[in-house]
Amino acid sequence: MLDLVGAFLLLAGTVFLLLGGLGLVRMPDLFTRIQAGTKATTLGTLLSLGGIACLRPDWALKLAVIGLFVLFTNPLSSQVLARAAHRIGTAKAPETAIDRLAEDKGEA
C-alpha cells in the first residue's frame, strides 16, 4: 500500500519537474521563466522526495530535511535573482502590461 502511494507521488513529482522544464523553455521572458521554474520544481521535488520516503521509510527524516531546505531556499533564490534582473534592466516580454516598480523608481 505504502509502495503504491510512494510510486504515485514519485511519478507526480517528476511530472511537475518536467512541466517546470517545459515552462523554462516556453515562457517568453525571464520573470515568467522564474515563475514556472520555481513553483513547478519546488512542488515536484517535494512530491518526489515524499514518494521516495514512502518507498524507504527509514530515510524519511533525512528526506524531510532536504525537502524543508528546498522549500525555504528555492523561493528565496528566485526572489534575489528576480530583483537583480529587474535592477539591471533585463528585457521584459512585450506583453508586460504594467510595471509599478519601474514607475516608482522613475524609470518609466
Partner 1 sequence: MVELVVTIAAGLAGLAFLLALFRFLKGPSDADRVVAFDVLTIIAITGIALVALAEGRGIYLDVAVVYALLSFLGVIVVARYLERGL
Partner 2 sequence: MDRARGVILLFASLLVFWLVLSGTAASDVVLVGIAAAAVIAMAFAGNLSFLAEFRATPSAVVAAFLYVGYFAKELVKANLAVARIVTSPALPLNPGFVKVRTRLKSRVGRALLANSITLTPGTLTVEMEGEWLYIHWVSVESPEVEAATAAIVAGFEHYLEAMYG
CA distance 79 to 81: 5
Partner that binds at residue 60, options partner 2, partner 1, none, CB closer than 5 to 8 Å by kind: none
Please pick, from the candidates 9, 40, 49, 54, the single residue that binds partner 2 as defined by CB under 8 A: 40
CA distance 7 to 51: 6
**Residue 95 and residue 28 in contact, taking contact as beta carbons nearer than 8 Å:** yes
- Which residues, 66 to 105, sit near partner 1 by CB under 8 A? 66, 69-70, 73-74, 76-78, 80-81, 83-85, 87-88, 90-91
- Which residues, 59 to 98, sit near partner 2 by CB under 8 A? 61-62, 65, 72, 75-76, 78-79, 82-83, 86, 92-93, 95-98
CA distance 82 to 89: 10
